[in-house]
Amino acid sequence: MNDDALPTPVAPRLRRPTWRDPRLVVGLVLVAGAVALGSWVVADADRTVPVYAAAGTLTPGEPVAADSLRVVDVNLGTETARYLRADAGPPTDQVALRVVEDGELVAAAALGPADGVDVRAVAVPISAGLSERIRAGAVVDLWFVPEARPGAKGDAPEPVPLVADVVVEQVDVSDSGLVVADGGTVHVLVGTEDLPSVLAALGADGSIAVVPVAGA
């Protein structure tokens, strides 16, 4: 058989893709989707709102106004209604209902009218050194330590628990400025039902020990 009679193969020629090519359309859709998703992520990350944070530790019953707050911009997502918005203005006639730590975002539920707090501030003098953990906002127990009677024989009187889990409102220390210094006064917030026993202990012969609660 003569080889010249066989047809000569023709190499296929690549065609430039057109708008009708489904592969090109799918590629454009994927690129557009990626760009849109990236833009949405960036925009969502930048979607911050101004809210109030405590400019110092707030304790129950403490009046809360503009000078006890500072404004921070945060992204709260769906939790916007949970916190105190700064664009609504500072609160009026509100007190802290619980301890709000310095720098903590102020939850709307953490503030309320003064009649919602049933505590009174009591000044407890301290003759011995204070633990470094005793500061504004700390939770402590109060114990009464009876004074030993002169000439009494036997063991010293046992300390008596007065009240548990009270909040420290303020700590006044000696001129050294150290919380561990001897002397000073600790102001604690005592519930009205425990007030008589604490006041009676303050007037009795003895002292009151302020003991920080572990883990609080």
Q: Give residue 23's pLDDT band: very low, low, confident or very high (50, 70, 90).
A: low
Q: What is the pLDDT of residue 111?
A: 95
CA–CA distance from 207 to each of 92, 117, 120 (Å)?
39, 27, 20
Residues 128 and 207 in one domain: yes
The answer to whether residue 198 sits within a structural domain is yes
Same domain membership, residue 201 and residue 129: yes
What local confidence, expressed as pLDDT, does residue 216 receive?
65
What percent of the chain lies above the pLDDT cut of 90?
49
Within a domain: 107: yes
Helix (H, G, I), strand (E, B) or coil at 151: coil
Residue at which a domain ends, from 85, 115, 145: 115
> Residue 184 — left, alpha, or beta (φ > 0 → left; ψ -120 to 50 → alpha)?
left
* Confidence at residue 99, expressed as pLDDT on a 0 to 100 scale: 93
Same domain, 122 and 111: no
Which of 98, 115, 132 is the last residue in one of the domains? 115
Position 132 confidence tier, pLDDT thresholds 50, 70, 90:
confident
pLDDT of residue 18: 60
In terms of domains, do 89 and 147 share one? no
Examine residue 185 and state whether it is found in any structural domain, yes or no.
yes
Stated pTM of the model: 0.68
What is the helix (H) or strand (E) element at residue 22, kind and residue range?
helix 22-45
Mean pLDDT score, 176-196: 77
| 209 pLDDT more than 60 | yes
Does residue 179 surpass a pLDDT of 50?
no
Comparing 35 with 101, the larger pLDDT belongs to 101
Query: Residues 47-97: pLDDT tens digits?
Result: 788 999 999 999 999 999 999 999 999 987 777 789 999 998 899 999 999
| φ, ψ for residue 13, nearest 5 deg | -100, 135
* Virtual torsion, Cα 121, 127, 130, 134, nearest 10 deg: 0
208 and 124 together in one domain: yes
Examine the domain organization and report whether 124 and 183 are in the same domain: yes
Question: 110 and 148, same structural domain?
Answer: no
Task: Give yes or no: residues 153 and 79 share one domain.
Answer: no
Domain assignment present for residue 135? The answer is yes
Per residue in 161-174, pLDDT tens?
999 999 999 998 76
Which range (18-27, 168-177, 204-213) has the least confidence?
18-27
- Residue 177's pLDDT is 46
Same domain for 105 and 57: yes
Let me know if residue 38 belongs to a domain: no
Tally of structural domains, the chain:
2
In a domain, 65, yes or no: yes
Task: Please indicate, yes or no, if residue 151 is contained in any of the structural domains.
Answer: yes
Residue 212 has a pLDDT of 92
66 inside domain: yes
Q: What is the 3-state secondary structure (H, E, C) of 105-138?
A: ECEHHHEECHHHCCEEEEEEECCCCCCCCCCCCC
Torsions phi, psi for 208 (to 5 deg): -110, 130
The verdict on 123 and 185 lying in the same domain is yes
Q: Which of 73, 97, 115 is the last residue of a domain?
A: 115
Looking at the fold, whether 146 and 208 belong to one and the same domain comes out as: yes
- Give me the domain span that covers residue 124: 118-212
Q: Confidence class of residue 140 from pLDDT cuts 50, 70 and 90?
A: very high
What mean pLDDT, rounded, does the chain reach?
Answer: 81
Residues 93, 123 within the same domain: no
How far apart (Å, rounded) are the C-alpha atoms in residues 90 and 118? 24
